[in-house]
């Protein structure tokens, strides 16, 4: 089951956030709109657009007017402060680009924002499909395929990656089907096949038990009647069955069990891993190129030997000079061998060149086909002309043969290099075990047996047994047992993590000690591993802005080279005719035209657009793989390009610089109330809140009430506490959470307030001076003071501390050492914020900032042209993560934060902020070096091939040598990118120049 390429998330959906965290999205849409986001009529689609350049209400009105003037737009609203537009439209009449064009025509910049993720709704209007595309050889091919796809009706977006031979297409299934997309690609002369889409899961099965056409019809009949099966295809040759199904209606194991049951066990199935199949395609491509190369080499070497070696061996030389009909034996042998190479082995170049010309583009295959054809057909002409006239000119069969051989060598080495760049994906695929032990339960939940199943057939809700030393077969929760789990293969964190009942586990991680029973809650495309793989694949397909330059050069490269070759031919020929060089320069029995032609052919074959096309994508591929291995997930080349320019890093405080595990350190009562009664009131008020501070207060109160409970069995104690927990809480009515303030409710008809000074002041509750002094002392010691008022009287204060992460201070210092300015932003009060900032060494602090205001802080730094990164983890950080040039989400944070970010730091370790920046910088240093190799090679090689050095130094490149140089140029670029695989994350001790003894 392939991963979904859209609506990517790495952790379980956190659900609706508490009102305290309502932020920018709520301001833009309103509370009701948040609840109903996406609930538009079936025929309409709703998107959000980032609009920059608005300065006043008149600007927002202009944008709204421009949007409403588009036929098909039914609703448009613009939020000036949030720099966003919310647009509802008919996708049949309006495309995304129509909306952005209208805004840009009004004088503003516009970008479509990702749609909010929801686990309970399906994507509207469009679907994202992934396709394999074969036959692409350079950036010009990529441009051609992208151009064809973007012109198809119903296609919203198309991105094609040369390095992975994959295309990602966003299309409207109501307008165009995936089969029509495949046909369009194949009509253009390329190979294509559908891989997966964003709205369905796919399973590949090897079928055992089919012996006749009747069996096939029986299988198809069963599949047609299974609810949830959307499409299926049976390959008669390989006996493979491909089934696309709705995962909300049908599970993979239910699918197989259903077929086996309906067929009375006639059919048996073997599940095939989709990633393993994609990896096998890489191996097939490498094997195919190696076979073609060895065949060409086997046939070409004798041709080269006849020209270079045989003249020095009298017996062999006399044999090839033996007259056999109109030609010598050597001529017959050369013609026969090279014809097989030219039109047998080299057929792929003619096919690819014809495909490119048919699409109105030119690529490297055009150059190869042109160069080899000129050499071959001139040599044939020279033989026929000699047989007729008796004037024998030299032939250049070896030029054609060796050129094809060297080009195929380059292609083979490229395919090997491309395969190596996918090692990160292969390693992730290999983490998942092949089988799992399913615990069979009766209706009462009692375990009655075990069953070994394929790990790809695990379904949500399955209870699985994991022995010590075994890998977790799926994401889930521990329901029995305790152990330590090594999660380093996913998170990069080397320290084993303790797992108890209700602890979450990640598929592919290793159980170290005790046996565990886990209940699977995420399988297939929803698992962390699958989504990491999907994220890495998506990142490798993305294009960095710098690649636009290479794409432009590639689009004009071949016509320019052909023009230069024609000028070279004309220049040398006219120079010879006019006597500008001596006739001694001409080879034996040659003439000025042939002499000039060889220079022209060398120009054609030495030029290589492949190196330019591979310079960026190969480096991005390696970098995303290296990042994944180091716990840093990168969402694309554009993110890498922005990250290497970061000047400011804005840190959220709670959960980012701090551990996010608030604990109550002080509880002081300022009335005659009993301490236990005070904590009961506060805990009852906070029980309905989702805020982290509320959970800390509840835990503190529970601990106070049950500290002296007798210790029975662990499970018994847990169950008793859970039952007692709700028993001692008081009944609450009219609960309300006030964003940025706290909560208020009624207990026994009396109002209780729990929050900060503003909450109490707004409710006319006086704060005595001695209480204010106590709260100030808390804040100056980096603790947050929570005031409690009951029946309009202040009754007590709680002091809450959130310890700093141990690495926070050294990471801040390390960032300053590498030229990055750290900033802290928090909704906490100034005293607490200043105390925390002082501990970590940050001087620039923005406190008492509401969630939506964090984006404004980022915009203030961006106005100066600086690239700003935001590091956060919560729902309230998502607007800021989206507003920043580079968003970095802590991996343990919420789904929404991860969705909005460009980088995901899986280890929840701030050191990875430095790793992300350092990796980005080194990647783009490598990309620039690749462009120097590619451009420098062509700038130097083409003039040399054209014969610029021949008059003075007698240096010229025979066409077959030019072919060897051309093949090596792209290999040089790929190998340069592969050096990134040696990347090692920077050590803080090195950055800070600390000597460890």
* pLDDT tens sequence across 850-872: 766 788 888 888 887 889 999 98
Identify the band that residue 166 occupies on the pLDDT scale cut at 50, 70 and 90. Answer: confident
pLDDT value for 124: 45
Looking at 122-136, 305-319, 576-590, 814-828, which range is the least confident one?
122-136
Is residue 152 classed exposed, middle or buried when 0-12, 13-18 and 19+ CB atoms within 10 A define those classes? Answer: middle
Identify the band that residue 359 occupies on the pLDDT scale cut at 50, 70 and 90. Answer: low
pLDDT value for 288: 83
Tokens 């909300």 belong to residue: 248
Tokens 């032939």 belong to residue: 395
Give the C-alpha distances (Å, rounded to integers) separating 128 from 7, 46, 51, 204, 723: 10, 16, 24, 20, 47
The backbone torsions φ and ψ at residue 640, rounded to the nearest 5 degrees and listed phi first, read -60, -40
Strand order in the sheet with 435-441: 447-454, 435-441, 463-466, 516-522, 475-480, 504-505
What spatial distance separates the first Cα and last Cα of the chain, rounded to whole Å? 51
Rg of the Cα trace of the chain? 34
Question: Is the pLDDT score of 747 beyond 80?
Answer: yes
Regarding predicted confidence, which is higher, 22 or 124? 124
Q: Half-sphere exposure (CA, 13 Å, Cβ side) for 375?
A: 33
* CB proximity list for 979: less than 8 A, separation 6 or greater: 926
* 365-420 confidence digits (pLDDT tens): 777 788 788 888 888 888 888 888 777 777 778 878 887 887 787 777 767 666 65
pLDDT value for 16: 31
Looking at 390-394, 460-464, 647-651, 735-739, which range is the least confident one?
390-394
The total of other beta-carbon atoms located within 10 Å of residue 276's CB is: 12
Cα 777 off chain centre by: 47
Cα 382 off chain centre by: 55
Which residues form the catalytic set?
652
Question: Is the pLDDT score of 433 beyond 90?
Answer: no
pLDDT value for 28: 31
3-state secondary structure of 114: coil
Considering the chain, what percentage of its residues have pLDDT values greater than 90? 7
Cα 8 off chain centre by: 10
Is residue 766 classed exposed, middle or buried when 0-12, 13-18 and 19+ CB atoms within 10 A define those classes? Answer: exposed
Identify the band that residue 121 occupies on the pLDDT scale cut at 50, 70 and 90. Answer: very low
pLDDT value for 133: 84
* CB proximity list for 317: less than 8 A, separation 6 or greater: 310, 311
* 488-542 confidence digits (pLDDT tens): 776 656 678 888 888 888 888 889 888 899 998 877 666 777 767 666 666 655 6
Question: Is the pLDDT score of 216 beyond 70?
Answer: yes
Task: Supply the DSSP string of 420-483, one letter for each residue.
Answer: HHTHHHHHHHHHS-SEEEEEEE-TTS-EEEEEEEEGGG--TT-EEEE-TTPBP-SEEEEEE--E
pLDDT value for 851: 66
Please give the torsion angle defined by the CA atoms of residues 96, 97, 100 and 105, in that order, rounded to the nearest 10 degrees. Answer: -150
The total of other beta-carbon atoms located within 10 Å of residue 202's CB is: 21
Identify the band that residue 4 occupies on the pLDDT scale cut at 50, 70 and 90. Answer: very low
Task: Supply the DSSP string of 687-738, one letter for each residue.
Answer: TT---HHHHHHHHHHHHHHHTT-----HHHHHHHHHHHHHHHSPP-EEEEEE
Give 191's strand partners. Answer: 134
Give 746's strand partners. Answer: 733, 751
Identify the band that residue 718 occupies on the pLDDT scale cut at 50, 70 and 90. Answer: very low
pLDDT value for 58: 54
Most distant CA pair in the chain, distance: 124
* 8-60 confidence digits (pLDDT tens): 222 233 333 333 323 323 223 333 332 333 334 456 787 888 887 665 455 56
Is residue 125 classed exposed, middle or buried when 0-12, 13-18 and 19+ CB atoms within 10 A define those classes? Answer: buried
Q: Are strands 327-328 and 323-324 parallel, antiparallel or unpaired?
A: antiparallel
Q: Which of 700, 707, 851, 829 is nearest to 776 (CA)?
A: 829
């Amino acid at each position: 089951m392939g991963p979904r390429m859209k609506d990517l998330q790495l952790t379980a959906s956190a659900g609706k956030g508490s009102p305290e965290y309502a932020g920018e999205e709520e301001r833009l849409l309103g509370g009701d709109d948040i609840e109903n986001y996406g609930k538009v009529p079936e025929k309409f689609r709703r998107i959000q657009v980032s609009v920059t350049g608005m300065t006043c209400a008149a600007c927002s009105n202009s944008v709204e007017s421009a949007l409403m003037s588009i036929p098909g737009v039914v609703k448009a609203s613009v939020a000036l402060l949030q720099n966003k537009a919310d647009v509802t439209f008919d996708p049949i009449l309006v495309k995304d680009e129509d909306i952005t064009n209208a805004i840009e025509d009004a004088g503003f910049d516009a970008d479509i924002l990702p749609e909010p993720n929801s686990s309970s709704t399906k994507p509207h209007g469009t679907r994202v499909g992934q396709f394999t595309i074969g036959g692409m050889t350079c950036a010009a091919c990529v441009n051609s395929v992208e151009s064809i796809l973007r012109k198809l009706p119903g296609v919203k977006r198309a991105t094609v990656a040369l390095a992975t031979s994959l295309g990602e297409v966003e299309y409207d299934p109501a307008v165009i089907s995936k089969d029509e997309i495949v046909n369009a690609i194949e009509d253009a002369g390329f190979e294509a096949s559908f891989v997966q889409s964003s709205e369905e899961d796919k399973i590949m099965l090897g079928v055992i038990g089919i012996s006749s056409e009747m069996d096939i019809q029986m299988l198809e009949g069963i599949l047609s009647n299974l609810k949830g099966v959307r499409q299926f295809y049976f390959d008669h040759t390989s006996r493979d069955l491909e089934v696309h199904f709705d995962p909300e209606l049908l599970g993979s194991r239910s699918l197989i069990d259903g077929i086996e049951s309906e067929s009375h066990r006639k059919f048996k199935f073997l599940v095939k891993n989709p990633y393993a199949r994609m990896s096998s395609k890489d191996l097939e491509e490498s094997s195919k190129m190696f076979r073609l190369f060895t065949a060409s080499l086997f046939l070409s070497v004798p041709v080269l030997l006849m020209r270079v070696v045989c003249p020095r061996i009298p017996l062999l030389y006399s044999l090839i000079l033996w007259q056999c009909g109109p030609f010598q034996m050597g001529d017959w042998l050369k013609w026969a061998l090279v014809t097989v190479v030219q039109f047998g082995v080299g057929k792929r170049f003619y096919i690819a060149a014809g495909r490119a010309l048919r699409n109105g583009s030119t690529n490297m295959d055009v150059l190869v086909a042109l160069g080899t054809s000129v050499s071959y057909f001139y040599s044939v002409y020279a033989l026929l002309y000699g047989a007729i006239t008796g004037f024998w000119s030299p032939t250049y069969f070896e030029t054609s043969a060796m050129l094809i051989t060297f080009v195929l060598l380059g292609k083979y080495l490229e395919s090997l290099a491309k395969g190596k760049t996918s090692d990160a994906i292969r390693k992730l695929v290999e983490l998942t075990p092949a089988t799992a032990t399913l615990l069979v339960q009766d209706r009462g939940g009692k375990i009655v047996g075990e069953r070994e199943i394929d790990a790809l057939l695990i379904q949500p809700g399955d209870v699985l047994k994991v022995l010590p030393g075994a890998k977790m077969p799926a994401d889930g929760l521990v329901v029995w047992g305790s152990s330590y789990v090594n999660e380093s293969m996913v998170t990069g964190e080397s320290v084993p993590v303790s797992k108890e009942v209700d602890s979450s586990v990640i598929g592919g991680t290793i159980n170290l000690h005790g046996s565990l029973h886990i209940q699977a809650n995420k399988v297939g495309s929803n698992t962390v591993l699958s989504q990491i793989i999907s994220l890495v694949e998506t990142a490798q397909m993305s294009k960095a802005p710098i690649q636009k330059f290479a794409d432009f050069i590639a689009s004009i490269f071949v016509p320019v080279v052909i023009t230069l070759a024609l000028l070279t031919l004309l220049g040398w020929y006219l120079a010879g005719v006019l006597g500008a060089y001596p006739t001694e320069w001409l080879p034996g029995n040659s003439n000025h035209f042939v002499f000039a032609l060889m220079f022209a052919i060398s120009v054609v074959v030495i030029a290589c657009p492949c190196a330019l096309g591979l310079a960026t994508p190969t480096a991005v591929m390696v970098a995303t793989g290296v990042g994944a291995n180091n716990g840093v997930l990168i969402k694309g080349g554009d993110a890498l390009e922005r990250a290497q320019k970061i000047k400011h890093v804005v840190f959220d405080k709670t959960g980012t610089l701090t551990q996010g595990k608030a604990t109550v350190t002080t509880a002081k009562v300022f009335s005659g109330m009993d301490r236990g009664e005070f904590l009961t009131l506060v805990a009852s008020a906070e029980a309905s809140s989702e805020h982290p501070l509320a959970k800390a207060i509840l835990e503190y109160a529970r601990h106070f009430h049950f500290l002296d409970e007798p210790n029975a069995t662990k499970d018994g104690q847990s169950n008793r506490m859970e039952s007692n927990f709700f028993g001692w809480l008081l009944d609450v009515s009219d609960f309300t959470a006030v964003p940025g303030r706290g909560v208020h409710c009624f207990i026994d008809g009396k109002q209780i307030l729990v929050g900060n000074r503003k909450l109490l002041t707004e409710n006319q509750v006086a704060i005595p001076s001695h209480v204010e002094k106590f709260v100030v002392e808390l804040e100056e010691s980096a603790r947050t003071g929570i005031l409690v008022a009951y029946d309009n009287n202040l009754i007590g204060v709680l002091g809450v501390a959130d310890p700093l992460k141990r690495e926070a201070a050294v990471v801040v210092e390390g960032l300053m050492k590498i030229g990055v300015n750290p900033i802290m932003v928090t909704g906490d009060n100034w005293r607490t914020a200043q105390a925390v900032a002082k501990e970590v060494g940050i001087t620039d602090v923005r406190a008492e900032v509401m969630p939506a205001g964090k984006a404004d802080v980022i915009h203030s730094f961006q106005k100066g042209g600086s690239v700003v990164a935001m590091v956060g983890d919560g729902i309230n950080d998502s607007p800021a993560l989206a507003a920043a040039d580079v968003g970095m989400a802590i991996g343990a944070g919420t789904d929404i934060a991860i969705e909005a970010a460009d980088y995901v730091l899986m280890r929840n370790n701030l050191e990875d902020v430095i790793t992300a920046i350092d990796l980005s910088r080194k990647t783009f240093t490598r990309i620039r070096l690749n462009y120097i190799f590619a451009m420098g090679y062509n700038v130097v090689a083409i003039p040399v091939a054209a014969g610029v050095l021949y008059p003075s130094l007698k240096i010229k490149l025979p066409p077959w040598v030019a072919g060897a140089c051309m093949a090596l140029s792209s290999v040089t670029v790929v190998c340069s990118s592969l050096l990134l695989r040696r990347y090692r994350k920077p050590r803080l001790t090195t950055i800070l120049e600390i000597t460890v003894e």
